[in-house]
Structure 1
Amino acid sequence: MTRTLRLLPLVFVLPVSARELPPLPADLSAYVLTEAPEPAGLLLKKGDRVAICGDSITEQKLYSVLMETYLTACLPELDITCRQYGWSGEQAAGFLGRLESDVLRFKPTIATTCYGMNDFRYVPYDDNIAAEYRKNQTAVVDAFKKIDCRVVLGSPGIIDSVPQWVKSAKGTQQDLNLSLSRFRNIDVEISKAGGVSFADVYRPMLFANYEAKKKYGQDFRVSGKDGVHPLWAGHVVMAYGFLKGMGIGGDLGSVTYDEATGKAEAANGHEALSAANGEIKLRSTRIPFSPGPGVTDKDDSIRAGMALVPFDDDLNRFTFTLKSPKSANYTLTWGEQSHTYTAKQLEAGINLAKDFDNNPFVPAFKKIQDAVTKKQAYETRQIKELAHGPEGKADIDGTFAVTEKARAPLEQAVLDAKQPVEHVITISAAP
């Protein structure tokens, strides 16, 4: 059944250029955040091998799955492959100890890191602890740079409550978040000094948490129910920070229909197969970020995270534009949904990926995400249980040789899930 929504008085269409997070509100004036360096264009290159590194938040395999799914579905022409290396409880020093064996042996060309949450030890800011963190984070950057691996140095996020399960935790929630903000600033300094990219995880999480509590109440926790480990909404915000840190522009394609000529054109990963009587048939090799419908008021929802930051505006633009309109209003149907727009809105361009949450890309996107999830689950087992288990202690090289054979079909399944999608957009005059 077609679901129709009239959007005429409600839709404000941003220009194709991205929208940044607004300044922090006055309520958060205690948080002094160093200006983050902007990526100098797209950091990614064709054939990149991405290492996603971090502590237990990375080992949750949520933001890492979202990142890899995005890179696979939205930028398939780059043929990027990923591995995740999350390890619960890890600090930057611990990662240094296993960096060469677990990560560098696979010769990554780009690495993302997310440390600081354990490094700050859940106490108010301490100069000695911070100095240790700076030393170890700098050493991590240097180790990657030594093999010509580009780095996206991620900041820690925030906490939503003092974790009672950390026996050594001291101070208030604000004390700890202020400490984390200063660790975030240290990462900014390291990225500038080392000439590497920076992924701001802290600022969008701080902003999203503030906005979510104001809108949905105190039960909405961007940093998770235990105060530290986010659910889906928080991980979307984290993935947003890392993808932005990679310099991704977010233009995932366009469709233009000229009503005067009845012709359609598509670009940037999309091909117009035919156009007749307002029915446009398309073939897409790029699949915009399409997790399907979901609520925006629950912290375990992907859609909630996408609504808390300008995810669609910055990273997920699939634009439809109408030329030479003959009517004042139009109904656009894509898949099972229909929306009504003014001619002016369509002439300016509307973001299909943002307005149509149940679009024809959803099944294809889910297939890729499911394959990525299975692969990353094995990567945790490969590293933590086998390489660092009895098998690895007996023969580390042999263990990796065997486990790579087990991992190979899982990686192939991700590659095989990248399939073109044929779909139809219909436009008709509306009252």
Structure 2
Amino acid sequence: MKRWRLYVLCILLGCMKMQAQTLPMPFQKGDRVVFLGNSITEGGHYHSYIWLYYVTRFPESRMQMYSAGTGGDASWNMLERLEEDVYGKKPTVVTASFGMNDSGYSEYLKDDVEKFVSSQLLRVDTAFRKMQDIMLAHKDTKVILVGGPPYDEKWQNDKNKPLPGKNETMSRIVEMQKKAASMNGWSFVDFFSPIEAVNKEQQAKTPAFTLTQGDRIHPDNHGNMLMAYFFLKSQGLAGKPVANVCINAATRKVLNTENCYVSKLKQDNGIALAFNYLAKSLPYPLDTVPRGWGKKHSQFEASEYVPIIEELNQEILQVKGLQPGNYMLKIDGHFIATFDAGALGSGINMAVLYNTPQYQQAVKVMHLNEERWNIEKRFREYAWTEFRILKQKGMLFQDNLAAMDTLRASVHENIFLAGHLDNFSKMMYPEIREAWQDGMDLLVNRMYELAQPVVHRIELVKETETCQ
């Protein structure tokens, strides 16, 4: 338990500071959630990981989640697209995160940094006040302000020198968001403080540790999963199990069930216990493969730093009254693992057994969600081109050859534009956008279809010398 001490202390201190803050309620069936942000949202997975949790944990409560992240955006850029790009999606909930680009970059290596910071904070405050006015005008849409992840200033890397003071500026922007949330009666979620705590703990042991992709800015997959974890935890979802089953094999009685159904319980020759099991949820699949451009770490690695498994991924099978010995766990006739009577009596977590049919069912949902994310990212690149370049030229959504010519002629104005031209050359055609949107809709439909509960037959077979 020592590994969690710094983490728990940070959370307790954070709760003491945030007594006036309102934490968000869990999303509900039918919600349309839009995540507004910068490149950390556009190219990151945290919102995708959040949706994956909701699909697998609440498969009957269908909802829709959208990324509205755009690379390079500060609050004043978000202000320019807030109506069309965010509220145009007809959200019931909007989350808003900014600060990384707002706080500046190379200016911290120049003279008179304090003057720059003061000017920058005034600019953020001005834009953010206008954003708040728009958000308040949409009275039926809930708002969750999100204090973004920190700039990793303490990461030890000689090839990437830090910008001293940038993270302090970001913390002041987070304070702005906290105050605005409290003043407007909105919810607030903090990524900044708890991720800083993880960095501090891990970098004390390994100075070369970072949750970013190596640029001090963009979280890798494990960093994105930490963001998803802190978001879900803030919604009060920690401790909500996939399912819990407790059975007394000696008396053949079901002692307790949670979020599942147990039926047709019996014992046969050689079978210590068998029953039908229908869980209302699937285990949460933590991907062990680094996915996404430039990613070196996996989603699963986040579980090394915070208690994701313990708090968000518990599918407990507890069987009391077994005779001493080892028992083979079989599901639908397939061998899963062997446990002794003591472990089964205490309870085993089936959510970490990756060869169970229910976990593999969840993996299929995960892969469909990943493919959906890949297509959605094309739409975010298209949005970047529209709002960052074409809107400024009075050509928003003109989507024709004249717009394409304008973009080609404007490549010298923005170093990132060249990388977006190919995507825009396809997405300027409505038929292409429609086809890709249809593809995403199909993937979402299949996600929810595959996440639906399935009855499994669970057996415990006592090992004998013959079996061995």
TM-score normalised by L of structure 1 = 0.77
Change (3 A) 1:239 1:40: closer
Deviation at 1:170, TM superposition (A): 7.8
Deviation at 1:332, TM superposition (A): 7.2
d(CA) in 1 for partners of 2:144 and 2:174? Answer: 13
Change (3 A) 1:346 1:195: farther
Structure 1, residues 59-98: CA drift from partner, whole Å, max 9, x if none? 1142122112112112222211111111111012111111
Q: Which residue of 1 aligns with 2:242?
A: 252
Q: Which residue of 2 aligns with 1:71?
A: 54
Alignment pair present for 1:152 and 2:144: yes
d(CA) in 2 for partners of 1:314 and 1:67? Answer: 15
The one-letter amino acid paired with 2:97 is: C
Change (3 A) 1:38 1:262: farther
Q: Which residue of 2 aligns with 1:325?
A: 321
The one-letter amino acid paired with 1:45 is: Q
Alignment pair present for 1:107 and 2:90: yes
Structure 1, residues 99-157: CA drift from partner, whole Å, max 9, x if none? 11112122101122221111111447734423433443444344334322112211121
Aligned partners of 1:32 and 1:181 also within 8 Å = no
Residues 227-376 of structure 1 correspond to what in structure 2 (within 5 A)?
227-249=216-238, 250-264=240-254, 269-276=259-266, 277-291=272-286, 300-322=297-319, 324-327=320-323, 333=329, 337-338=336-337, 340=339, 343=342, 351-353=349-351, 355-376=352-373
Deviation at 1:161, TM superposition (A): 4.3
DSSP 3-state at the match of 1:271: strand
The one-letter amino acid paired with 1:288 is: P
Aligned partners of 2:55 and 2:62 also within 8 Å = yes
d(CA) in 1 for partners of 2:323 and 2:42? Answer: 53
Aligned partners of 2:189 and 2:234 also within 8 Å = yes
Q: 1:415 aligns with which of 415, 421, 445?
A: 445
Structure 1, residues 145-174: CA drift from partner, whole Å, max 9, x if none? 4322112211121122489xxxxx9842xx
Greater fraction of residues in helix:
2
Aligned partners of 1:53 and 1:84 also within 8 Å = yes
Q: Which residue of 2 aligns with 1:23?
A: 9
Change (3 A) 1:245 1:40: closer
Change (3 A) 1:401 1:128: farther
d(CA) in 2 for partners of 1:19 and 1:423? Answer: 39
Deviation at 1:329, TM superposition (A): 7.6
Structure 1, residues 283-329: CA drift from partner, whole Å, max 9, x if none? 3341121225679xx9602221122122223333333334x535578
Deviation at 1:258, TM superposition (A): 2.3
DSSP 3-state at the match of 1:385: helix
The one-letter amino acid paired with 1:132 is: R
The one-letter amino acid paired with 1:146 is: A
d(CA) in 1 for partners of 2:20 and 2:347? Answer: 30
Alignment pair present for 1:54 and 2:37: yes
Aligned partners of 1:299 and 1:305 also within 8 Å = no
DSSP 3-state at the match of 1:278: strand
The one-letter amino acid paired with 2:198 is: A
Aligned partners of 2:279 and 2:455 also within 8 Å = yes
DSSP 3-state at the match of 2:321: coil
Matched residues, percent identical? 22
Q: 1:218 aligns with which of 181, 187, 207?
A: 207
Alignment pair present for 1:95 and 2:125: no
Q: Which residue of 1 aligns with 2:409?
A: none
Q: 1:392 aligns with which of 369, 393, 397?
A: 397
Structure 1, residues 334-378: CA drift from partner, whole Å, max 9, x if none? 7665364775x766655443x435543333223222222232333
Deviation at 1:55, TM superposition (A): 0.6
d(CA) in 2 for partners of 1:399 and 1:246? Answer: 40
Structure 1, residues 192-246: CA drift from partner, whole Å, max 9, x if none? 112111111112211222233345x233311221111111111111111222233
Q: Which residue of 2 aligns with 1:9?
A: none
Change (3 A) 1:56 1:292: closer
d(CA) in 2 for partners of 1:256 and 1:379? Answer: 42
Deviates more, 1:189-198 or 1:418-427: 418-427
Aligned partners of 1:221 and 1:299 also within 8 Å = no
Q: Which residue of 2 aligns with 1:179?
A: 169
Deviation at 1:383, TM superposition (A): 4.5
Alignment pair present for 1:129 and 2:120: yes
d(CA) in 1 for partners of 2:91 and 2:255? Answer: 38
Aligned partners of 1:320 and 1:349 also within 8 Å = yes
The one-letter amino acid paired with 1:224 is: Q
Please list every run of 5 or more consecutive structure 1 residues that lacks an aligned counterpart in the other structure. Answer: 1-11, 13-17, 164-168
d(CA) in 2 for partners of 1:113 and 1:202? Answer: 14
Aligned partners of 1:330 and 1:427 also within 8 Å = no
d(CA) in 2 for partners of 1:334 and 1:140? Answer: 55
The one-letter amino acid paired with 2:137 is: K
DSSP 3-state at the match of 2:8: coil
d(CA) in 2 for partners of 1:44 and 1:152? Answer: 11
Aligned partners of 2:145 and 2:181 also within 8 Å = yes
Q: Which residue of 2 aligns with 1:80?
A: 63
Aligned partners of 1:36 and 1:200 also within 8 Å = no
Please list every run of 5 or more consecutive structure 2 residues that lacks an aligned counterpart in the other structure. Answer: 156-160, 267-271, 404-427
The one-letter amino acid paired with 1:120 is: S
d(CA) in 1 for partners of 2:192 and 2:90? Answer: 29
d(CA) in 1 for partners of 2:131 and 2:104? Answer: 19
Change (3 A) 1:34 1:23: same
DSSP 3-state at the match of 1:228: coil
Aligned partners of 1:294 and 1:302 also within 8 Å = yes
Deviation at 1:256, TM superposition (A): 2.2
Change (3 A) 1:244 1:145: farther
